[in-house]
Structure 1
Amino acid sequence: MAFVTTSDGVEIFYKDWGPKSAQPVVFHHGWPLSADDWDAQMLFLVNQGFRVVAHDRRGHGRSAQVGDGHDMDHYAADAAAVFAHLDLRGAVHVGHSTGGGEVAHYVARHGQPQDRVAKAVLIGAVPPIMVKTPANPGGLPIEVFDGFRAALAANRAQFYLDVASGPFYGFNRDGAQVSQGVIQNWWRQGMQGGAKAHYDGIKAFSETDFTDDLKAMTVPTLVLHGEDDQIVPIDDSARLAITHLRNGTLKTYPGFSHGMCTVNADVINADLLAFIRA
């Protein structure tokens, strides 16, 4: 397995498939998952001739289960260490949920200054900020995220099973086609990571304000969001984020859930490919 060691000594796992001479498409996963959550997109795009790269965030998946650094500054710096090691140029960076925040933070603070980024895609992403604040009155109350922390601390395994079985993929909706394999794969990825990283990561994805990152992004940016996203509500995320982007395009999907990259992979893959090739 391939790892990069960061400047503070953390081993970050990554996958790197496809021709090294091809344009890179880089994936940033959501909480509390791993690079495996991008299987449908990576397999599709590598078969289209692209180089595809994805890493496990610190404390997640196969990366080191360290006790600290579970904040967006470290997440973006860790990603930058991987991409510098691979010397990726002209990359398209794709982030889902928390990974969308990581993309914004990385592109604004590392990728653009280092001239490594060509385009960005934010899918079901948390920017500009999830929690309710005086400046973000439509956000979710802090008590929602306190509830996540309490559920994780009390019984992480059951909490993750409940999330995957219900709101993440919209499996709690009438008429939903429930996949036990999808549920178990989500649970597997979550339980592979560290409880401390996941606990601290709730603050990172809910309280980080990405407004300045969005404003600093100049590369073409595609924002994709499901209109029935029960995890990251569209009105408090994508529809606000697009107002801060200088070069952004918003596309929404009626009825699609937070987990649309998996359960609606055919639609999302086609739209990703069209944007990358445009």
Structure 2
Amino acid sequence: MSTITTNDGTEIYYKDWGPKDAQPIVFHHGWPLSADDWDTQMLFFVGQGYRTIAHDRRGHGRSAQVSEGHDMDHYAADAAAVVEHLDLRNAVHIGHSTGGGEAARYVARHGRERTAKFVLIGAVPPIMVKTPANPGGLPIEVFDGLRKALADNRAQFYIDFPSGPFYGFNRPGAKSVQGVIHNWWRQGMMGSAKAHYDGIKAFSETDFTGDLKIIEVPTLVMHGTDDQIVPIADSAPLSAKLLKNGKLKVYEGFPHGMCTTHADAVNADLLAFIKS
């Protein structure tokens, strides 16, 4: 397997597909998944002549199940370690959900000289949890509920979550896809329960306002109106306003897992943005 070891001794797994001299596209996955969640996009962009890279976040997928470091600062530093190991330049960074937060912190703190463009898809910034400064956020009890479900019966929770709100399969008339649900469960169960438990705090309580304000590269913010995991009203429009060079694209009726359920539309818009 392709791995690197970070400064704190954590082994991080990554995929690196396509021509080594092509423009790199780096994908940052959502919670509690792995680089495999980007397979559809990676295959598409390899077919378009790009170099595609995705890593498993620490404690996720095939990366080491370390006890500590499950916070956005470590996530971003781990991503930077992969980028620097591969010496990626002029890269496009694409982050979905929690991966959007990771990518925002990476670009802001580590990657401004190596990044050409940036994309947020159904992403957690600016901040998910309700606070006095973020009155439109989700109550902390929502995230406490996720922690309880994970601790009580992670295996069942990781069936229920993709079967329902993640892909919008709980909507009237929606046709669930069993392979998609099983693949979500497979990816989730590969990872560490502790990393996933700690990661809920990381994705819900981290404030990315400062990161977004200093990112200057062209940024596309993509979000579905039927996102039941990261509600659009308190995320995408706010992020787009904070970014110096942000563009918001809203998708009517698309769910949180839109990269899977509506891959053709997502891939086409990503390609157009990267080429623009």
Amino acid of the structure 1 residue aligned with 2:68: D
Superposed counterparts of 1:41-190, under 5 Å: 41-112=41-112, 115-190=113-188
State the alpha-carbon separation in 1 of the partners of residues 12 and 193 from structure 2.
17
Amino acid of the structure 2 residue aligned with 1:203: K
State the alpha-carbon separation in 2 of the partners of residues 170 and 237 from structure 1.
18
Deviation at 1:241, TM superposition (A): 0.8
State the alpha-carbon separation in 2 of the partners of residues 240 and 136 from structure 1.
11
Describe the superposition over 1:86-109 as per-residue Cα deviations: whole angstroms up to 9, x where unpaired.
Answer: 000000000000000011100000
Identity %: 78
State the alpha-carbon separation in 2 of the partners of residues 31 and 53 from structure 1.
18
Deviation at 1:175, TM superposition (A): 1.1
Aligned to 2:12: 12
State the alpha-carbon separation in 2 of the partners of residues 203 and 258 from structure 1.
19
Describe the superposition over 1:180-227 as per-residue Cα deviations: whole angstroms up to 9, x where unpaired.
Answer: 000000000000000000000000000000000000100000000000
**Could you say what secondary structure the match of 2:116 adopts?**
strand
Aligned to 1:261: 259
Amino acid of the structure 2 residue aligned with 1:103: A
Amino acid of the structure 1 residue aligned with 2:2: A
Deviation at 1:128, TM superposition (A): 0.1
Deviation at 1:7, TM superposition (A): 0.0
TM-score, normalised with respect to structure 1 = 0.99
User: Which ranges of 4 or more aligned residues in structure 1 deviate by more than 2 Å?
Assistant: none
**Could you say what secondary structure the match of 2:118 adopts?**
strand
Q: Which of the numbers 248, 251, 265 marks the counterpart of 1:250?
A: 248
Any stretches of 5+ residues in structure 1 without a counterpart?
none
**Could you say what secondary structure the match of 1:37 adopts?**
helix
TM-score, normalised with respect to structure 2 = 1.00
State the alpha-carbon separation in 2 of the partners of residues 239 and 170 from structure 1.
21
